[in-house]
Amino acid sequence: MPLTLLPLLLQVTPTPPLPKGNPSPPPTAVSEFSGVMAPVNAVFAAIAAGDGEMLRPMLRADGNLFVASEGEDGSRKITHLTMADFMARLKPGGPKLEERLYDPAIEIDGDIALVWGRFNFYIDGKLHHCGYDHFDLVREGGNWKIANITYSSRMTGCEAQ
């Protein structure tokens, strides 16, 4: 191969981001989408209630949670939790927690689905951090369950809404 072609072969074409979710799904998809969002919304309700046990019916016990954190100084860290660890961290009596998900993209193919969207996280009503949530779901026995949760987390560049 001539060396003059090598630089062209090494170029990387950027991949465009996932398209934004459709805020008004076709009527036939509304019940599918709401079924997928039910366990996702249950995660947010459990966070607000500080009650990890609320999650048990919505999560696969063998699932995982990954957090890709970015510090204010630019440092990066990946944290892994089992679903049991995640549930144990949600306890009543602490600060008031709230997570808000905006314009999620929802994709469904048979018995797998994903939900992807930007979020803000509030502690005692104050914006604390933001990022993107990614939920992997599987349908078992007609019910959607969260198999894995992955999200990014940063404290800068967040927009309050």
CATH of the domain at 92: 3.10.450.50
Report if pTM > 0.85.
no
Choice among 17-21, 40-44, 125-129 with the minimum mean pLDDT: 17-21
Domain extent at residue 66: 29-154
Nearest CA-CA partner of 144 in 114, 116, 119: 114
81 has which bridge partners?
Answer: 65
> In this predicted model, which residue has the larger pLDDT, 15 or 8?
15
Q: How far is CA 11 from the centre of its chain?
A: 31
**Residue 20: per-residue pLDDT:** 58
121 has which bridge partners?
Answer: 99, 129
Number of separate domains in the chain: 1
Residue 42's SS3 state is: helix
Q: Where does the chain have alpha helices with state H?
A: 6-9, 27-49, 83-89
Q: How far is CA 151 from the centre of its chain?
A: 5
Nearest CA-CA partner of 150 in 100, 121, 115, 109: 115
> In this predicted model, which residue has the larger pLDDT, 159 or 16?
159
For the cut 50, the answer to whether the pLDDT of residue 12 exceeds it is no
Q: In this structure, is residue 9 part of a structural domain? A: no
pLDDT one-digit tens code per residue, 47-105 = 999 999 999 999 999 999 999 999 989 899 999 999 999 999 998 888 999 999 999 99
Q: In this structure, is residue 24 part of a structural domain? A: no
Q: In this structure, is residue 2 part of a structural domain? A: no
150 CB neighbour count, 10 Å cutoff: 17
Q: Which residue has the tokens 């969002």?
A: 37
Q: In this structure, is residue 3 part of a structural domain? A: no
> Residue 144: which pLDDT band, with cuts at 50, 70 and 90?
very high
